[in-house]
Amino acid sequence: MKKKEKQRKEPIKIREKRLANGSVSLYLDIYWRGDREYEFLNLYLTPPKTTVDREQNNQTLLLAEQIKSQRLLDLQSGKYKLKQAKQDSSFVEYMKKCANDRLSSKGNFGNWDSALRHLAIFTKGKDVFFSEIDETWLLDLKHYLLNEAKTPGNSKLSQNSAHSYFNKVKATLRQAFEEKYINENPATRIRGIKQAETKREFLTWEEVEMITKQPCDATKLKEAFLFSIMTGLRWSDIVKMKWSEVRGSKAAGWYVQFQQQKTKDHEVLPITQEARELMGKAKAPDERVFIGLRYSSKTNVALARWLAKAGITRPITFHCGRHTHATLLLSQGVDIYVVSKLLGHKTIKTTEIYAKVSNIKKQEAVNKLPKLKISQV
């Protein structure tokens, strides 16, 4: 009982919010004279891998404690006033904080940054408060993204970009509701922008065999692309892979134990002997498997030149290796649920996209129709 009373008397607490990238965002939970407020400090704890990381985290925690102590003094002296209503705080600033929480992920942060840029155009540079956001405001934003928004090159914004940016606004409102900035979330009553289907390029097995026989200007790129075809791994997971993540043996079978760069989920992925041979001779645990692999404009040029030697002139990117892996498995009759697990998809709906582009099974199916003898007229 005494412990609970002591907890109620503490007006400010340092709390932690775990982010998708594994870091922890620190914020103050302030409860003063019946009012509550959350203050995000823009201070982050990173997963401690070294002594330097641990020391940096200790310094960050110390700074958070100092801010907490100062806030308490300001509250007691009357210098700091809690906001009476979160609805009167800036939605734009809150969304910027949400974007900053994703700074460690270049692609994800870039997407949030673009969404903020379009939000600024939509609001004509003016601030927006939570109290101003309702269904009408959201519908107007939706109309702007679908009909008026332009890319930096002054072309119409694609439907998938509009879908992504609108989802960032909805995600911000959802988080604000969870953190009690708003009493209700108006976005729950507004339909999102439908995502358009995109054409997914992939290679047939015959094409894979052809490119395997052709030399590539960048040897590591060739090895990594074929490795992606054999495993379904993304560029981001291949480029950071270390030998400590490679487990097993020739007799027992090989597998890779890693954390997905995109989703941060931990995966155990079995790989074939051929995929293991593409890695080369094992080195020190902390060394990267594909040393010297760098992404640049030259990477796509080298990939296109290599494939052109095999007569493939379609726009094939490195990510097509993952598409190829999925379609090859499905064409061989592997259950879609198993394919979904191998790719590390969270829902089978994502995997169903690959089933649409796999024509081999469709051809096999129609070939099972009974033969029809058509007499000449």
pLDDT confidence band for 59 (50 / 70 / 90): very high
Whole-number average pLDDT of the chain: 85
Are β-strands 12-18 and 24-32 bridged in parallel, bridged antiparallel, or unpaired? antiparallel
Q: In what order do the strands lie in the sheet with 253-259?
A: 246-249, 253-259, 266-271
Sign of torsion over alpha carbons 60, 63, 67, 69: positive
Q: Which tokens hold the place of 173?
A: 């409102």
pLDDT at 33 over 80: no
CA angle 236, 237, 239 (to 5 degrees): 70
Sign of torsion over alpha carbons 199, 205, 207, 213: positive
20-24, 42-46, 107-111, 339-343: lowest mean pLDDT where? Answer: 107-111
Compute CA 21 distance to the chain's CA centroid, rounded to the nearest angstrom: 9
Q: Which tokens hold the place of 193?
A: 């922008």
CA–CA gap between residue 16 and residue 43 (Å, rounded): 10
* Percent of the chain with pLDDT strictly greater than 70: 89
CA–CA gap between residue 186 and residue 87 (Å, rounded): 13
pLDDT at 103 over 50: yes
Tens digits of residue pLDDT in 183-208: 788 999 899 998 876 677 899 999 99
Q: Helix, strand or coil for residue 211?
A: helix
pLDDT at site 376: 62
Sign of torsion over alpha carbons 278, 280, 285, 289: negative
Type of residue found at 285: P
Type of residue found at 186: P
Q: Label residues 23-53 b or e (16+ Cβ within 10 Å = b).
A: bbbbbbebebeeeebebbeebbbeeeeeeee
Q: Of 272, 244, 275, which is closest to residue 258 (Cα–Cα)? A: 244
Q: Could you tell me how many residues make up the chain?
A: 377
Tens digits of residue pLDDT in 250-287: 999 999 999 888 777 889 999 999 999 999 999 999 99
Top-confidence residue, 210 or 153: 210
Burial-class residue 163 by CB neighbours within 10 Å (0-12, 13-18, 19+): middle
Mean per-residue pLDDT, 211-223 = 93
pLDDT at 62 over 60: yes
Residue ranges of domains in the chain, CATH in brackets = 11-84 (no CATH), 86-196 (1.10.150), 205-364 (1.10.443.10)
How many other C-beta atoms lie within 10 A of the C-beta of residue 367?
A: 7
Top-confidence residue, 36 or 278: 278
pTM score, two decimals?
A: 0.57
CA–CA gap between residue 289 and residue 222 (Å, rounded): 14
- The H or E element containing residue 267 is strand 266-271
pLDDT at 5 over 80: no
CA–CA gap between residue 163 and residue 195 (Å, rounded): 6
Say if CB 152 and CB 100 are below 8 A apart: no
CA neighbours closer than 13 Å in the CB half-sphere of residue 190: 24
Say if CB 86 and CB 130 are below 8 A apart: yes
Q: Which tokens hold the place of 306?
A: 């290599």
Residues paired with 368 in a beta bridge: none
- DSSP state, 125? T
Rg (CA), the chain: 26
CA–CA gap between residue 168 and residue 262 (Å, rounded): 17
Top-confidence residue, 365 or 116: 116
CA–CA gap between residue 102 and residue 42 (Å, rounded): 12
Say if CB 344 and CB 263 are below 8 A apart: yes
pLDDT confidence band for 3 (50 / 70 / 90): very low
pLDDT at site 361: 59
Say if CB 306 and CB 208 are below 8 A apart: no
DSSP labels, 155-194: PBPPHHHHHHHHHHHHHHHHHHHHTTSSSS-GGGGS--PP
Type of residue found at 372: L
